[in-house]
Amino acid sequence: RYRNPELNDEIEKVVSSLKLNDEQLKHIMHCLEEEMNAGLSSETHKQATIKMFPSFVRHIPDGTERGQVLALDLGGTNFRVLSIKLRGNSHIELTSKIFLVPQSAMIGDGKRLFRHLVECLAEFMKKEHLLQSGICYPLGFTFSFPCKQESLASARLTTWTKGFSCADVINEDVVKLLQDAIDEKGINVKCAALVNDTVGTLMACAYKEPATSIGLILGTGTNACYIEDLDKVGTWNGDHDEPKQVIINMEWGAFGDNGCLNHIRTKYDEEVDLSSINPGQQTFEKMISGMYMGEIVRLIILDLLQRELLFLGHRDTYGDYKTPIYNRGGFYTKFVSTVETDEGIKFSNTRRVLEDIGIRNPTFDDCVIVQHICRQVSKRAARLAGAGLAVLINRMGKPTVTIGVDGSLYRYHPRFKRNMERSMEGLVNKDFKFKFALSDDGSGKGAALVACVAAHNAPE
């Protein structure tokens, strides 16, 4: 493969440490299901790594929902405010605006964060002529951090993830914090439901595709939810009326936090973990999601560079700590997608990316090696996510399952979906069929649907 064949062995050693065969994935599936059962059981829930939170969402929408609802979507890169009109015939009209959450608000005081969210909401409502007295709009709050939900409209944050770490929010009811800030501002809004983005994605997809029973996020973070039988949910304290099911927000990003994935982690994974703001947490997420994928690739490239196995023509850049390759976050996850869109031997995209990180005129070998690394890192991520989905499909036992998916990694990576499907073919019971459906604006629409049903009479 390379023009410089003596490089192969050392590089192959690194690359093969990222490979996972079906036997390894089946073992991981077994561990995941054990952890799921531990999270669902009231005896073991406290110690379990995967929290398996009941979402309190029991009914899947049928398209007849009507009303004017607002939604807030916080949980990653963007904060969005949405206005959603449900027309009652599976038709949704949506307007939305993206607002920035400044870094200082992500790690500052909790009250300040919620005040900021409400300022954005009020500005949006003013523009949309929704600030009228006499009408109270129900609001669905997509809040995509691990929360122990106590009802549809109360949920306590258990930990921050994805770069957030505001003071005085952990263990607090985030719906109350939001509603307090809304009341302080004096605007005509009532938060009627809090949903996780996975749940929103599942709900929005089900509105069009009734067979949807899994919601999946592959963006800044990764997480999944699915429809579980109530009698398998030991932590459930609510009623057992029909439908005897509830959507479970798995918080699967924490899978492996008890060490059960250590045998497949590389030194690069350990490094990513140690330099993150939550070491020891979100092990599965750190091997899969967009917040970390580019960084894993960067650390591998840097290691090969320091061992003089890569960029040999650029020894002048060795030790030049100003070049992005030496700096945390210097290789974006979107670069992984760009590098992998190159087919053939021209490597025009790969060359562009390498120039961006300070390597001018890379050699053919450099491009081959960098692409090979990107492919293996993203393939490992896709195969791990695929193994997680296979557990859910086998467990639910439905003949056909649609998986509603949202997130930029799924949307823009050229092979992620294909690699997930390929891994699942070897892992999903042959009796069950599955397909993926991209959920557009899913998390916001889904939250609005839940809020609309919860509020009973949303204004038209």
| Nearer to ligand ADP (CB atom), residue 120 or residue 409 | 409
Q: Closest approach of Cβ 308 to ligand ADP, in Å?
A: 29
Q: Give the nearest residue (CB) to ligand ADP.
A: 76
| Nearer to ligand ADP (CB atom), residue 379 or residue 413 | 413
**Catalytic annotation present for 144:** yes
| Nearer to ligand ADP (CB atom), residue 106 or residue 211 | 106
| Nearer to ligand ADP (CB atom), residue 38 or residue 297 | 297
**Catalytic annotation present for 380:** no
Q: Closest approach of Cβ 443 to ligand ADP, in Å?
A: 8
Q: Closest approach of Cβ 338 to ligand ADP, in Å?
A: 7
Catalytic residue among 58, 80, 298, 380: 80
Decide: 261 and 255 in contact? Cβ < 8 Å.
yes
Count of alpha carbons within 13 Å of 265, Cβ hemisphere only? 24
Strand-pairing partners, residue 67, are 86
**Catalytic annotation present for 315:** no
| Nearer to ligand ADP (CB atom), residue 102 or residue 210 | 102
Catalytic residue among 144, 289, 423, 439: 144
Q: Which residues bind ligand ADP (CB under 6 A)?
A: 75-77, 219-220, 290-291, 332-334, 337, 407-409, 412-413
| Nearer to ligand ADP (CB atom), residue 154 or residue 408 | 408
- Phi, psi (rounded to 5 degrees) for 167: -70, 150
Q: Closest approach of Cβ 185 to ligand ADP, in Å?
A: 25
Q: Which two tokens stand for residue 255?
A: 């899978």
Using H for helix, E for strand and C for coil, what is the string for the chain?
CCCCHHHHHHHHHHHHCCCCCHHHHHHHHHHHHHHHHHHHCCCCCCCCCCCCEECCCCCCCCCCCEEEEEEEEECCCCEEEEEEEEECCCCEEEEEEEECCCHHHHHCEHHHHHHHHHHHHHHHHHHCCCCCCCCCEEEEEEECCCEEEEECCEEEECCCCCCCCCECCECCEHHHHHHHHHHHHCCCEEEEEEECHHHHHHHHHHHHCCCEEEEEEECCCEEEEEEEEHHHCCCCCCCCCCCCEEEEECCHHHCCCCCCCHHHCCHHHHHHHHCCCCCCCCHHHHHHCHHHHHHHHHHHHHHHHHCCCCCHHHHHHCCCCCCHHHCCCCCCHHHHHHHHCCCCCCCHHHHHHHHHCCCCCCCHHHHHHHHHHHHHHHHHHHHHHHHHHHHHHHHHCCCEEEEEEECHHHHHCCCHHHHHHHHHHCCCCCCCEEEEEECCCHHHHHHHHHHHHHHCCCCC
Q: Closest approach of Cβ 414 to ligand ADP, in Å?
A: 9
Q: Closest approach of Cβ 363 to ligand ADP, in Å?
A: 25
Q: Which two tokens stand for residue 247?
A: 């959507």
Q: Closest approach of Cβ 220 to ligand ADP, in Å?
A: 3
| Nearer to ligand ADP (CB atom), residue 110 or residue 253 | 253
| Nearer to ligand ADP (CB atom), residue 61 or residue 407 | 407
Q: Closest approach of Cβ 356 to ligand ADP, in Å?
A: 14
Catalytic residue among 197, 273, 365, 406: 197
Residues recognised as catalytic: 80, 144, 197
